[in-house]
Every structure is written in structure tokens, then in C-alpha cells.
Amino acid sequence: MYKKLLIKLFNKYASRWLILFLEVLVTVFTFFLAYIIRFNIKLEFELAVFLKQLPIIATLAVISFLLLGTYKGVVRFTGIKDVTDTVISVNVLATLLFIVTFIARKYDLGEIFNISGSVIYIHLLLNIFFLTAFKFFIKALYKLISTDSDKLSKVLIYGAGDSGRITYEAITQDAKSKMKVVGFIDDDPSKKGKTIDRLNVYSPTKITKKFIDKNNINEVIISIQQISSNRLLELAGSFFSYSLKVKIVPPVRNWIDGDLSIGQIKDVKIEDLLGREEINIVNPLLVDEYENKVIFVTGGAGSIGSEIARKLSNFKFKKLVLIDTAESALYDLQQEFKRKEIDNFHVIVADVRNEKRLDQIFEEHKPKIVFHAAAYKHVPLMENNPHEAVSVNIGGTVNVSNLSIKHGVNKFVMVSTDKAVNPTNVMGATKRIAELYISCHKNKGMTKFITTRFGNVLGSNGSVIPLFKKQIEAGGPLTVTHKDIVRYFMTIPEACSLVLEAAAMGNGGEIFVFDMGEPIKIYDLAINMINLSGLNYPDDIDIKITGLRPGEKIFEELLADGENTKPTYHDKIMIAKTKNIDLDSVEILIHDLCASNLKCQNLDVVAKIKDIVPEYVSNNSKFEVLDKQ
């Protein structure tokens, strides 16, 4: 109770004028000490003269402090700049005293204005020390009464370099910080056993369960600039195993005005643990690509389509048309754009399978760029519904691409998937056929056809991350189909950056793929998500192995057999060099598949798909029977 009262008094009465008064009071006190020291700790000076000099000292102190504005700073946030200003103001005061003394001696103004030079020098040094100590004392006092020591989180900082020291200063200088740094960790053997501000620097091998329990450590802040995702994954995993919270300091380029604040130190997110470096694309050519253009996005309400739309909203397009059958999601996106005051966009409820309706939309809006993201993507569902997979993934692509040629679209950019490579399921095979159909349009009309192919997207609708989150909220267990299953991952913004870049980079006929680093084990991902939720595996949440789903494979690939890559001007983006295919024959087979789709049984439909994609070999599926014939 008393702490709250003191804090209230601090906030209410610790005004700048009170601070100015206290600074002057300290200055007067140190002037008295200067006299005492000058006369060997004895009162052998004229006390009456000293008392008459005090108003002069106080007046000149007020002038110097007003000039430098030292009283304006919030004392409980005192930092290096405040100390610097204090030193300068004290030097200004000393200078003024020397000027007054010089004038007094020259014009014989009396003893009152004639101050000994040695007193002035001693006063200068004492004033610097006492004013600085005063401010840091107030800061420490405020922190002492405003923080509950029982609720302080004890922290280790991983990294004893410049970034680590800056992190330490950001924590200690924040009066409202609820963290207490108890030490540093560093890989450098030369730093082992050294101290920073009287805090020990430990070797990583020293950080054991016994050490953590003994020192009541609650969390670790990783403060290493340019740390690789693989290293971050390794460190986070080791600390999670001790039930520690793990936080991370952002890169210097993200610090506000070049300074790190405690609010920027965030919990490690699953995106930080991808196990690869995030791909950033900065291309000024994108402005010219989308400026004053009419742009279509099919599947505009989906995870990828909506993010493409958001990124496009940064450009001054002529018109943005978002097409989808999911009216609720489309409505939500519409409201989001209205809140952001984005102009010249249209949302249209339409189905890519309805060629006549699409033709009307193309005719009305006359697009110049089409991003085709409409597709069915769930492997188990499409394995049981091959007719729908063919109808949307292939038929929808046929309709949109044909209409793009008919209506003179400049560029058609298709969103594909790594599951189209050596497919083992219906969904992946239909996406591969969509890729092939796009290839069939080469040299037809003026439209440039471009394909982007990437792996799993973190946080997309129906993806593993939202599934794991729901399972954790329900108390578990988390379901993993196979302990060794691995996937490539990227964030939604990354995926959409690739799509936008492809539109600007592509000249037609390319399949763009990422250098996505190493794939992530889903089992490890599940453990990390449990730990990120503040729970422990397997004590709080367990993991259940359910077995591979129909059509699912353990490893995904970005390149098919016979494909290689060639570089682009971006070192993380390559173009797949595909093997030669008789596209005329493939186009005939695709049209036959679409025409006969609803007239055939599931087995016959999948058989036709396998004729078009001979590398399609079913896995853990009822359609394996077709591979044995």
C-alpha cells in the first residue's frame, strides 16, 4: 500500500521545477563542501562572506541549469545523455564563477564576488559527482519502490558482446522493468569468468538444471545480432528443455531511432524457429509493375490471396479485383480494406469453375495482371474427392488462363506448391497438371505465364500451426502423422513476396522456386510450440503419432526428377529448368480429363490423372492399386 502511495507522490510532485530546486540545493551544498575541503576540513573561512556568496551561487546555478535544461529530464529514466548534460551545465557554472571573480577583482567589487579559484575547481568536481549520484539515487529509489522484488523475473542474457551490453542497459535503465539480469552467457572462451557491471559471464556448459534452480532463473534473452535460424532453434530448444522462457532482441535495423527499448525484446515466435533465414525482397521495379494497373486475385479471401492483396495495397494500382466463393472471408477482407481506407478495390463472389461468369468479370474490368491463387489444398480431403480437385485445381486454372489470353492480360501468375513435385496424392497431382497446362500456353497470345512453387505456409488456413494451437488450447495431445515427417516452411508474407517478385521478374514460362534451407521436422515443431505456450512436453501436453494420412509423404521436394535450377538476380530465388514434355499431347489429355471428370468414377478420374503425370505414385492411398497394374 505504501509503495503505491510513494509512486503516486513521485508521479505527482516530481515536477521539473522541483528537480531544478533540488539541483540548486545540491549545488549550494557542494559549494559549502568545497570551502570545507579548501580549508582542510576546518571552519577557518569568513562565514559571513560565504553566506553572502550563496545567493550568487544559486542564481548562476539556475542560469546554467536553465541553459542546458537538465531539470527537464525524467529523473527515474536518467541515462548517459542526462549525465553528459549535467557535466556540461556544471562546467558552465564554473565558467560563470570565474567570469564573476575576474570582474570582481578587476573592478574591486568586494570579497562577496571574489571566489577562490581552488574553491571553484573543487566545487566543479564535487558538483559533477553529487548531481550525478543524486539523479541515479532518485532513479534507484523509484525502481525500488515501484517494483515488487518477489515478482521480478531473473534473467540471463545470451551474448556478452555489444548487443548484450546494450540489452542489459535497456533493462536496467527502464524503471518499470520487471526483469533482473543475473548474468551473461557467451560462447567465446576468452570471456568466460569475466564480469560486466559486476555480473558474471558464464560458458554455455555452465547452464545446467542445477544452476538454473539454484539461481531461480526464469528466462533467457538471446541478444546476438545476425544469429542463424538453425542456431536460434538449437538454443531455444535447449532452454525450453529447462522450462525457461526465451526472448530475443531484434536486429539493430529494427531498433527505434537506433536505440533499443525493453518493449522491443519479444518472446521467441515460431516464425523465428523456421531453421532458415527469412527471405526479404526489395525491388523498386515492383512500383512500375503495379502502378496504374487493373489486377485480379482469384482465391482472394484465402491465406495467400488475401496477403497478396494486402501487399498490392501498398502500390497505386488502378483497380484491384478480389474473386472468391468464400463470402464470409471475402466480407471480412472487404471491411479490413475499408478500415485502412484503401480505394479502388472490388470484391466479387464468383467461382473459377464458372467460365461464363468469369468471362463477364474479365470483360467488365479488363485486368492486366492476374494472380491465380484459387485452389483446393487439403491433401486428405482431395484424396476422397478427386472430382472436386480436378474441377477447381485444373478446371479453374484452365478457365482463368484461357480467359487471360482472350482478354489480353499481360501477366498470369499461378500459385503452386511443392506437393506438385513427384506427387503422391490427388491434390499435388492436380496442381502439377495445372502447372503443365500453364506451360501449354507458351507462345499463345500476348500473356506471359509464370508459376511460383513453394512449401508449407506458416499460419495459413488449415495448416499445422493453427491446428497445433487449437490442440494445445484443448489440452492436447498434438497429433503428428509420423515422427520423421519433415516439411519446408515459410511465412505468409514471404510466400506473397515471391509471388509479387515473380510477376515483375518473369518473362513467361518460368517456374520460380525458393532456396528454403533445411526442412523442419514436424515432431520438433510440435515440441517447440508446446514450449512456446509455456507448457512442458510430455508432462503438460503429449504428442500422439497417428500414422500417415492417405496421399501423404514423409519428405516434400521442390524439384521433380529431371529438373535443375538456374539462378536469378536474387540469390534465394531460382528458376526450375524442366524436362521436355510433349505439351500438345498433354493439353489434349487435360481437356479430356476436364470434360469426362464428372462422368467417371473416382478410380477412373485418378487413372486419367496418372496418365498425364506418370511420376504420380500414390502413397498410403486406395489409389495405389492403379500403380500396380
Q: Which of 268, 299, 325 is the last residue of a domain?
A: 268
Q: Is the pLDDT of residue 329 over 90?
A: yes
Q: Do the domain assignments include residue 474? A: no
- The last residue of a domain, from among 146, 169, 203: 146
Measure the CA–CA gap between 629 and 627, rounded to whole angstroms.
6
- 168 in the same domain as 133: no
pLDDT score of 148: 53
Same domain, 208 and 319: no
> Containing domain of residue 394, as a range?
287-457+488-515+558-623
Does the residue 527 lie in any domain? no
Residue 142 belongs to some domain of the structure: yes
Contacts of 102 by beta carbon, 8 Å cutoff, 6+ apart:
none
Residue 586 counted as domain residue: yes
**Is the whole-model pTM more than 0.75?**
no
- Residue 280 falls inside a structural domain: no
553 in active site: no
Q: What is the pLDDT of residue 6?
A: 46
Give the confidence band of 158 by pLDDT, cuts at 50, 70, 90.
Answer: very high
Instruction: Spell out the SS3 assignment of 388-426.
Output: HHHHHHHHHHHHHHHHHHHCCCCEEEEEEEHHHCCCCCH
Same domain, 325 and 204: no
pLDDT over 90 (residue 132): no
Do 256 and 319 lie in one domain? The reply is no
Does any domain span residue 273? no
Do 36 and 49 share a structural domain? yes
What DSSP state is assigned to residue 191? G
**Residues 589 and 442 occupy one common structural domain:** yes
Report how many domains make up the chain.
Answer: 3
Do residues 489 and 273 lie in contact, with contact meaning Cβ atoms separated by under 8 Å?
no
Q: Are residues 435 and 306 in the same domain?
A: yes
Element at 297 (helix H, strand E):
strand 294-298
Q: Are 100 and 181 found together in one domain?
A: no
Residue 57 forms part of a structural domain: yes
Answer yes or no: do 106 and 210 share one domain.
no
SS (H, E, C) 472-522: HHCCCCEEECCCCCEECEEEHHHHHHHHHHHHHHCCCCCEEEECCCCCEEH
- The confidence score (pLDDT) of residue 97 equals 80
- In which band, very low, low, confident or very high, does the pLDDT at 2 lie, cut at 50, 70 and 90? very low
- Asked, for residue 479, whether it belongs to a domain, the answer is no
**Structure confidence at residue 203 (pLDDT):** 92
User: Which CATH number belongs to the domain containing residue 237 in this structure?
Assistant: 3.40.50.720
Q: Are residues 299 and 215 in the same domain?
A: no
Last residue within a domain, chosen from 146, 163, 182:
146
Do 137 and 153 sit in the same domain of this protein? no
Same domain for 108 and 166 = no
Please tell me which residue in 135, 245, 411, 419 is annotated as part of the active site.
419
